[in-house]
Chain A
Amino acid sequence: NAGVTQTPKFRILKIGQSMTLQCTQDMNHNYMYWYRQDPGMGLKLIYYSVGAGITDKGEVPNGYNVSRSTTEDFPLRLELAAPSQTSVYFCASSHEGFEAFFGQGTRLTVV
């Protein structure tokens, strides 16, 4: 039962570098989400997708990009890493508006 899988689990980036956070789910969910969680703070929605080929901005999309070419995969791209992007990133998926299933998170530090 893989569920939602995120890679990598940890990453240290230098300012200005780029990277892609991978997210894949095997539950055939149409909705997928990317959140960031800063220490002591709640979840902030970065981007979400309601199906392959469809993406939309959440609360904090600046500095990020996404794509959804397949139902299973929803990668998050950071083009020019900044210290403000130091956070824990969670990917989630759901069948429409029903309960969301979360990955274990990616802890990103930008130095």
Chain B
Amino acid sequence: AQSVTQLDSQVPVFEEAPVELRCNYSSSVSVYLFWYVQYPNQGLQLLLKYLSGSTLVESINGFEAEFNKSQTSFHLRKPSVHISDTAEYFCAVSVTSYDKVIFGPGTSLSVIP
């Protein structure tokens, strides 16, 4: 069965600094990969997704993630964070289009003014 690991439970970073949130998955077959964001006291929203094609995917608010099949990773990056990026970030994976989505434990990003 597939699983998702997010090694960093908390990531503090200063405003306008770059950030990388790490995500690794375990699966020997093709996967779909997702990043979700949860702002305080809200539900989860899809940030970006990889289904196929280009391994670099981008969101509308400046985040990007790169699918690395050999390292089974899907790390999330942003070159310059804002206070408004403070949130919980969840990585998720599904093995095929016929399997349920599995979530990682989440990474809490805190942007310091």
A residues lining the B interface (CB < 8 Å): 31, 33, 35, 40-43, 45, 48, 50, 90, 92, 94, 96-105
A31 touches B100 (CB 8 A): yes
B43 touches A103 (CB 8 A): yes
Q: Which residues of B contact A101 (CB under 8 A)?
A: 46
B44 touches A98 (CB 8 A): no
Q: How far is the CB of A87 from chain B (nearest CB, A)?
A: 14
Number of interface residues of B (CB under 8 A): 25
3 nearest A-B residue pairs (beta carbon): A97-B94, A42-B105, A102-B43
Question: Cβ of B103 < 8 Å from any Cβ of A?
Answer: yes
* A contacts with B: majority SS: strand
Q: A31-B100, A42-B90, A42-B106 are in contact. Are A99 and B43 (CB under 8 A)?
A: no
Q: How far is the CB of B37 from chain A (nearest CB, A)?
A: 11
B44 touches A97 (CB 8 A): no
- Looking at the complex, which one of A33, A40, A98, A104 makes contact with B43 (CB distance below 8 Å)? A104
Tally A-B pairs: CB < 8 A. 59
Nearest opposing residue in chain B for A6, CB measure: B43
Question: Cβ of B59 < 8 Å from any Cβ of A?
Answer: no
CA distance A103 to B100 in the complex (A): 17
CA distance A100 to B97 in the complex (A): 12
B43 touches A97 (CB 8 A): no
Q: How far is the CB of B23 from chain A (nearest CB, A)?
A: 13
Q: Which residues of A contact B46 (CB under 8 A)?
A: 99-101
Q: Which residues of A contact B100 (CB under 8 A)?
A: 31, 33, 48, 50, 94, 97
CA distance A89 to B96 in the complex (A): 26
Q: List CB contacts (< 8 Å) of B67-112 with chain A.
A: 90, 92, 94-101, 103-106, 108
Q: Which residues of B contact A33 (CB under 8 A)?
A: 100-101
Q: Which residues of B contact A94 (CB under 8 A)?
A: 100-101
